Amino acid sequence: MVGRWLVLTLGLPIAVTPPAAAQSTDEREVIRVVESIAALSQAKNLTALDSVFAHDAWVRVIEGAGVNRGWLDYRDHHLRPELEESQEFKYRYFEIEPQIRGTVAWASFRYDVAAATPRGRAEAEGRGTAILEKRNGRWLVVHVHTSGRRKTN
């Protein structure tokens, strides 16, 4: 979790997230990359997403119980078909909390997604974790795991 622990007079620890100004350059960059996964997906910009994900065969994208092995597998056999059939597609990642250890970072986040599909309108919310690796000065996504549920009103 990003932040420092404070001990209140009751003796209970709570997490306090530092303001954006207190975040390191790497933390801000990890947040930007994680946000871009959803933003570029919403824009249906697979070419730009190619530059966000590592292209190693061991990259994993897990959605619920499903898994794609490698960015290209996910892009071509999962994401592209979903984006092609979706209209009015809205997708965002928020409350992103990065942790960095050397050249590896992970970030938990929340997400909202909504789209009109041939089967009807779909809206979901959930949580996820992205793992990134810093290569040649750039943070690349090497693993994403999301899990969600249909939104209820």
Is domain 24-150 in CATH 3.40.30.10, yes or no?
A: no
Domain ranges of the chain: 24-150
Long-range contacts, stretch 136-140, CB < 8 angstroms, 24+ apart = 139/26, 139/29, 139/30, 139/33, 139/105, 140/33, 140/52, 140/53, 140/54
pLDDT at position 64? 87
HSE (side-chain half, CA atoms, 13 Å) at 60: 10
- Pull the structure tokens for residue 37: 């996964």
Q: What is the 3-state secondary structure (H, E, C) of 46-72?
A: HHHHHCCECCCCCCEEEECCEEEECHH
The dihedral through the CA atoms of 108, 111, 23, 4 has a sign that is negative
| pTM exceeds cut of 0.85 | no
pLDDT (tens digit, 0 to 9) for every residue of the chain, 153 residues total? 444 433 333 444 444 445 555 789 999 999 999 999 999 999 999 999 999 999 999 999 999 889 999 999 999 999 999 999 999 999 999 999 999 999 999 999 999 999 999 989 999 999 999 999 999 999 999 999 999 999 876
